[in-house]
Every structure is written in structure tokens, then in C-alpha cells.
């Protein structure tokens, strides 16, 4: 009998889970029908992301290391001012596990989906889960596709729906939030950057911290990370106010001009992205688990979102195969413990990094991070 697994969400975490599950099922000589349920998410531009060498290693485990050779840009490391006035350097060239990359995020997502399609994984596009019911031996998902509803039966469901954790929340699982920051991002055209350095730049400021990176698309991403309280107080979602803060950032603004060979002007539009530090109270159930940002989400300062998605997806796929095929009931608990342990390590890093910056004692943004 062919088992059925449905994965709700088709980002890096969902795709990694699907590919890992398929590989594990083949090794165990069991047929599993795997479906990726993909809602219509058009309209939101994907924000480029820089991944560390650890992400390259995870892609290699999935047999997808070659994806980074096409359409993405090698990242030599970062230059940052955090906690003192002297720039610090993090060189990625000498790590033993691989290279860092600036991703064309839209293209990377499409590469992951294409890898799933070529592997025989079903892609259910423009489908949304409107209801989920756990029965004795399986799970029933009610899908809506262009106004048409239908029920599908699944032996196991994966919530890979991102920070909204739509399946977990439909099942009544609470989400615990420890902190939340918001990035205000602007894109600048940079056609002269073919041979320029591709380091990422990071610097703290009174109202948060700045991040800038070159993208493979011929653009530069400049982002201010703050919190909702500061955003409202300083009206930072106004492009002119955002740009005035950018110009006041001292070393960061001047280095951006030199590094990216651009005379920056106020952006026409800012794109906002929320990055909560949050985790589900339970990442597992009898016939389901959550993975990626649906299970736990991190502050964007870690640049760990995709690495975590790939790492936990790899582990989730193996765990599901062992649960369904070998009836290894402890696999779910071991998977959840890994999510919890990783999140606890992340919280230590979160505290360490925010506590390291003491140059803004009158800043409400930094005070809130200290208290957290």
C-alpha cells in the first residue's frame, strides 16, 4: 500500500523535507506519495538572503549543491561594526564545509521546486488548506483551489507554512514569541558591480541595526532592522525618514557608497519583513510535525533561516520515513527535542549579540533587547 504525505508550504523547509523523505523512503524500499501544497503567494517580492557555508553543506546532503553554481553570487564574508567602533571581519573563504552565497531568492525557491518536481513529488499549486481534521488512522485536509473545495486523506501532514504556522494553529497549538523585529528594506540598482567586492555590511545604530548586501540580480539590498515600537515612534516606514537615518549611520553609509559604487537616494518604496523569535509549544502531533519557520523562527541577524530550514527539513524527512515505515515512535520526540535544543542555543546567541552593544544606553530599541 502506498502511503501519502502532504506538506503544506513549498519554501526551502517544505522542499527539503519532501526530498529527504523521498530519499529515505527509497532506501527503506517503501513507496510514499509526497505532495507539496502551494498557496498563491504572488505579490510579495522575495528578499535576497546571504547563506553561510553550513547551508551549502545541507544542500550537498540533499544532492543539490549544484544549484548554487547557477544564478547565485559567492559571498567572501562580512564586515561589521557591532559593540565597538572598529570594523570586524568574518572571512568565509577558509571554512572547511563549503562557501557562502548571496542568493537570488526567487530563483533559489524555483530551483528547489524544480528539484522536487523532477524527483516525482506532486506540486499542488494555488491550493490552500481551509480545514484539517485528525482521524484515528489518518488526517483529512480540506483544500480550496480557485473556489473549488475537495478533501484529501493523508497518512502524515507537515506544516511548512512559515511563521503563520497555519496547520499547527488550526490544531490549537500555541506559538510562544520571545522577541520580534522588523526589517525595512530598499532595493537599489547597481549595474557597475560586476567586479566589486561582495561582502555583506552590518552596523548597529541608535534605532536598530543596518544590513546591506549585493544581490546576484544586479541590485543592492539595504535594510534597517528595528522593532514596531521604534518604527511607529520615528515613522521609519516613511522612505524619507528611513533615508535620513541611513545617511546618519556614519561608517555604514560611507562604506555602502564605496562598496557598492552608488550615490544613494531616498527609495520610492520600502518592503517590510517581520522576523519574530518564536517557537511552537509543540512541534509535533500523532500524525503531523512542523518544520522551518512554522516550528521555530529566528531573528534575521543570525542569517540562519535557510540553513535551519534545510537542516530541520533533512531531519524531518528521515523521521517521517522511520515513523511511517518502521513504526519508530520515538522519532517524533527526538525531532521535537532537536528543534527545542536548537532554539535554546539560538536564544543564547540572541542575548549575547544584543547584550554586546552597549553604546546606546538611551535607546528604547536596545533597552528592550537587553531586558529580553
CB 187 within 8 A of CB 220: yes
CATH number, domain 179-274: 3.30.9.100
In 3-state terms, what secondary structure has residue 206? coil
| Per-residue pLDDT at 98 | 65
Distance of CA 262 to CAs 75, 191, 196, 258, Å?
A: 19, 10, 12, 7
Characterize the bridge pairing of strands 296-297 and 32-38.
Answer: unpaired
- In the chain, DSSP assigns E strands to 3-8, 32-38, 49-51, 73-75, 77-81, 88-91, 100-103, 122-125, 127-134, 139-145, 148-154, 156-159, 175-189, 200-205, 208-214, 219-226, 271-280, 284-285, 288-290, 296-297
CA pseudo-torsion sign 29, 156, 318, 293 = positive
User: Which candidate, 119, 159, 130, places its Cα nearest to that of 288?
Assistant: 159
φ/ψ of residue 47, rounded to 5: -85, 130
| Per-residue pLDDT at 47 | 76
The widest CA-to-CA distance across the chain, in whole angstroms, is: 65
In 3-state terms, what secondary structure has residue 282? coil
CATH number, domain 3-67+78-177+276-351: 3.50.50.60
Contacts with 327 (C-beta within 8 Å, 6 or more apart), sequence order: none
CB 331 within 8 A of CB 162: no
User: Which candidate, 299, 292, 294, places its Cα nearest to that of 316?
Assistant: 292
Q: Give the C-alpha separation, 13 to 296, whole Å.
A: 11
pTM check: above 0.85: yes
In 3-state terms, what secondary structure has residue 269? coil
Supply the Cα-derived Rg of the chain in whole angstroms: 21
| Per-residue pLDDT at 253 | 96
Provide the grid cell at 29: 524500499
| Per-residue pLDDT at 194 | 57
CA atoms within 13 A on the CB side of 36: 28
| Per-residue pLDDT at 218 | 85
Residue intervals in the chain for CATH 3.50.50.60? 3-67+78-177+276-351
| Per-residue pLDDT at 304 | 85
CB 311 within 8 A of CB 56: no
DSSP 13-71: HHHHHHHHHHHHHHHTT--EEEEEEE---TTSPPPPEEE-HHHHHHHHHTT-GGGGGSS
| Per-residue pLDDT at 94 | 47
Provide the grid cell at 339: 528543534
Residue intervals in the chain for CATH 3.30.9.100? 179-274
Which residues of the chain, if any, have pLDDT below 50? 93-94
CB 355 within 8 A of CB 340: no
In 3-state terms, what secondary structure has residue 312? helix
| Per-residue pLDDT at 189 | 87
Q: Give the C-alpha separation, 263 to 265, whole Å.
A: 7
| Model pLDDT for residues 176-222, shown as the tens digit of each residue | 999 999 999 999 988 666 555 688 999 999 999 999 998 888 889 99
Question: H helices of 235-304, where?
Answer: 239-247, 251-260
| Model pLDDT for residues 336-355, shown as the tens digit of each residue | 999 999 999 999 999 999 99
Amino acid at each position: 500500500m502506498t502511503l501519502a504525505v502532504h506538506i503544506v508550504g513549498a519554501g526551502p523547509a517544505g522542499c527539503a523535507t519532501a526530498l529527504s523523505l523521498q530519499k529515505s523512503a527509497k532506501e527503506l524500499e517503501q513507496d510514499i506519495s509526497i505532495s507539496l501544497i502551494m498557496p498563491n503567494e504572488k505579490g510579495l517580492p522575495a528578499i535576497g538572503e546571504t547563506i553561510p557555508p553550513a547551508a551549502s553543506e545541507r544542500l550537498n546532503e540533499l544532492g543539490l549543491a549544484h544549484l548554487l553554481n547557477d544564478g547565485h553570487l559567492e559571498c567572501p564574508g562580512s564586515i561589521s561594526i557591532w559593540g565597538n567602533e572598529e570594523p570586524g571581519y568574518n572571512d568565509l573563504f577558509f571554512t572547511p564545509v563549503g562557501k557562502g552565497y548571496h542568493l537570488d531568492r526567487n530563483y533559489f525557491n524555483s530551483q528547489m521546486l524544480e528539484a522536487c518536481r523532477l524527483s516525482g513529488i506532486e506540486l499542488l499549486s494555488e491550493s490552500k488548506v481551509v480545514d484539517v481534521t485528525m482521524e484515528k488512522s489518518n488526517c483529512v485536509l480540506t483544500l480550496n483551489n480557485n473556489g473549488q473545495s475537495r478533501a484529501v486523506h493523508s497518512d502524515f501532514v507537515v506544516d511548512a507554512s512559515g511563521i503563520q504556522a497555519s496547520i499547527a494553529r488550526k490544531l490549537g497549538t500555541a506559538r510562544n514569541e520571545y522577541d520580534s523585529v522588523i526589517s525595512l528594506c530598499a532595493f537599489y540598482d547597481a549595474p557597475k558591480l560586476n567586479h566589486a567586492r561582495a561582502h555583506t555590511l552590518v552596523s548597529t545604530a541608535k534605532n536598530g541595526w543596518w544590513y546591506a548586501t549585493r544581490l546576484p540580480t544586479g541590485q543592492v539590498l539595504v535594510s534597517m532592522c528595528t522593532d514596531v515600537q521604534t518604527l511607529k515612534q520615528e515613522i521609519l516606514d516613511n522612505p524619507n525618514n528611513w533615508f535620513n537615518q541611513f545617511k546618519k549611520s556614519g561608517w555604514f553609509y560611507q562604506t555602502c557608497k564605496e562598496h557598492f559604487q552608488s550615490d544613494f537616494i531616498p527609495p520610492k518604496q520600502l518592503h517590510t519583513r517581520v522576523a519574530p523569535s518564536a517557537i511552537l509549544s509543540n512541534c509535533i502531533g500523532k500524525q503531523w510535525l512542523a518544520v522551518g519557520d512554522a516550528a521555530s523562527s529566528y531573528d534575521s541577524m543570525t542569517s540562519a533561516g535557510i540553513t535551519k530550514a534545510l537542516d530541520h527539513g533533512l531531519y524531518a524527512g528521515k523521521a517521517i520515513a522511520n515513523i511511517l515505515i518502521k513504526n519508530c515512535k520515538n522519532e517524533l520526540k527526538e525531532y521535537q527535542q532537536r528543534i527545542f535544543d536548537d532554539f535554546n542555543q539560538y536564544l543564547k546567541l540572541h542575548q549575547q549579540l544584543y547584550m554586546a552593544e552597549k553604546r546606546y544606553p538611551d535607546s528604547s530599541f536596545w533597552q528592550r533587547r537587553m531586558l529580553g
